[in-house]
C-alpha cells in the first residue's frame, strides 16, 4: 500500500489479502504467491474482515456486536463510549420483548429500543452491525437471519448502508477514521506519549486534509516534517 501510494482508507476496502496456506485453507480460497483476491460471493473486504481481526475483536461465538463495536469506536474512530454502569446488565435486562432465540443483532436492537440503554449503546454497538454475517470464528455466514444493513444511529449521526460492502467505504472515507489513524501514527512515532492536539490539526493540514484521499505517504511526510518531531 505504501509503495502504491494508496489511501489509508484502503486498509478498510482492499480486496487483496496476504495469506499463508493455513489461512487460505481456512477461508476456502486458493492463494497465488501468498495473495488472494476476495471472491465476490464470499465478500471479504479490508483488514477488518480478515479472519484474524474478526476473531480478535469478537468475544462470542456469534458476531458479538458489543466487543466489535467497542473496538471500532475506540480504535478506528477514537470516540470512546461512556463507561458502563456499575451494575453489569445481561442481554435480558431490556424493557422490550425479545424474539425467540434472538440473534446478536436482535439483542442489540432491543438495547437501542430501550431508553435506558440506547444513549450509551448507540455510541459504539451499531458500528458493528455491518459485520453481522461474520461469526466469532471469522467465517462468513449466509444464514438469512443475519442482516448487515443500516440505517444505524451512531455518535456520528445516522449512517445508511445496505451491507458491509458499502459500509466499509463510508467508514474509510470518513474524516473521523482518517483523523484517528493520524492520531495513532503520531502516538506511535512519539512512543505513545501525550501531545498537543493542535499538532494533529497541523499534520492533517500539511497532509492535505481528510477529504483529499489521505495516503500513508502524505501522512508520514507531514508527521516527520511537522513540529511533532522538530523538538526531538
Residues 108, 120: contact at Cβ < 8 Å?
no
Tell me the residue ranges of DSSP E strands in the chain: 16-18, 35-37
DSSP 92-119: T--SSPPPSS--HHHHHHHHHHSHHHHH
Asked if 111 touches ligand HEC (CB under 6 A), the answer is: yes
- Report yes or no: 154 and 127 within 8 Å, Cβ to Cβ: yes
The reply on whether position 117 binds ligand HEC by CB under 6 A is yes
Among the residue ranges 20-28, 114-122, 136-144, 222-230, the one whose residues contact ligand HEC (CB under 6 A): 114-122
The Cα–Cα gap between 26 and 21 comes to: 9
Q: Quick one: 68 or 218, whose CB is closer to ligand HEC?
A: 68
Give yes or no for a contact between 45 and 76, defined as CB atoms under 8 angstroms apart: no
Q: How far is 44 from 46, CA to CA, in rounded Å?
A: 7
Name the minimum Å distance from CB 127 to ligand HEC: 13
Residue 201: alpha-carbon gap to chain centroid: 22
Out of 6, 31, 74, 81, point to the residue binding ligand HEC (CB under 6 A).
81
Q: How many of the chain's residues bind ligand HEC (CB under 6 A)?
A: 18
Nearest distance from C-beta of residue 117 to ligand HEC, angstroms: 3
Residue with smaller CB distance to ligand HEC, 66 or 207: 66
- Least distance (Å) between residue 137 CB and ligand HEC: 18
The residue within the footprint of ligand HEC, chosen from 29, 120, 156, 206 (CB under 6 A), is: 120
Task: Give 24-42 as a 3 state SS string.
Answer: HHHHCCCCECCEEECCHHH
Among 93, 196, 201, 211, binds ligand HEC (CB under 6 A): 93
Verify binding: residue 94, ligand HEC, rule CB under 6 A. Answer: yes
Q: Is 128 in the site for ligand HEC (CB under 6 A)?
A: no
3-state SS, residue 76 = helix
Note whether 90 binds ligand HEC by CB under 6 A.
yes
Binding residues for ligand HEC (CB under 6 A):
66, 70, 81-85, 89-91, 93-94, 111, 114, 116-117, 120-121
Amino acid at each position: 500500500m505504501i509503495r502504491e501510494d494508496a489511501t489509508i482508507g484502503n486498509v478498510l476496502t482492499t480486496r487483496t489479502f496476504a495469506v499463508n496456506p493455513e489461512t487460505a485453507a481456512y477461508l476456502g480460497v486458493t492463494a497465488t504467491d501468498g495473495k488472494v483476491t476476495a471472491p465476490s460471493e464470499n465478500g471479504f473486504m479490508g483488514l477488518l474482515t480478515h479472519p484474524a481481526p474478526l476473531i480478535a475483536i469478537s468475544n462470542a461465538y456469534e458476531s458479538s456486536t458489543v466487543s466489535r463495536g467497542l473496538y471500532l469506536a475506540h480504535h478506528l474512530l477514537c470516540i470512546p463510549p461512556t463507561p458502563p454502569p456499575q451494575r453489569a446488565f445481561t442481554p435480558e435486562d431490556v424493557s422490550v420483548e425479545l424474539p425467540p432465540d434472538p440473534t446478536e443483532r436482535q439483542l442489540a436492537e432491543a438495547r437501542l429500543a430501550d431508553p435506558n440503554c440506547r444513549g450509551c449503546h448507540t455510541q459504539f454497538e451499531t458500528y458493528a452491525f455491518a459485520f453481522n454475517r461474520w461469526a466469532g470464528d471469522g467465517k462468513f455466514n449466509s444464514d438469512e437471519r443475519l442482516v448487515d444493513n443500516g440505517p444505524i444511529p451512531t455518535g456520528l449521526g445516522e449512517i445508511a448502508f445496505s451491507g458491509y460492502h458499502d459500509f466499509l467505504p463510508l467508514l474509510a472515507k470518513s474524516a473521523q477514521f482518517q483523523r484517528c489513524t493520524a492520531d495513532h501514527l503520531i502516538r506511535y512515532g512519539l512512543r505513545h506519549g501525550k501531545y498537543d492536539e493542535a499538532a494533529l490539526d497541523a499534520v492533517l493540514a500539511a497532509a492535505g486534509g481528510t477529504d483529499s484521499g489521505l495516503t500513508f505517504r502524505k501522512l508520514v511526510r507531514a508527521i516527520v516534517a511537522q513540529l511533532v518531531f522538530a523538538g526531538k
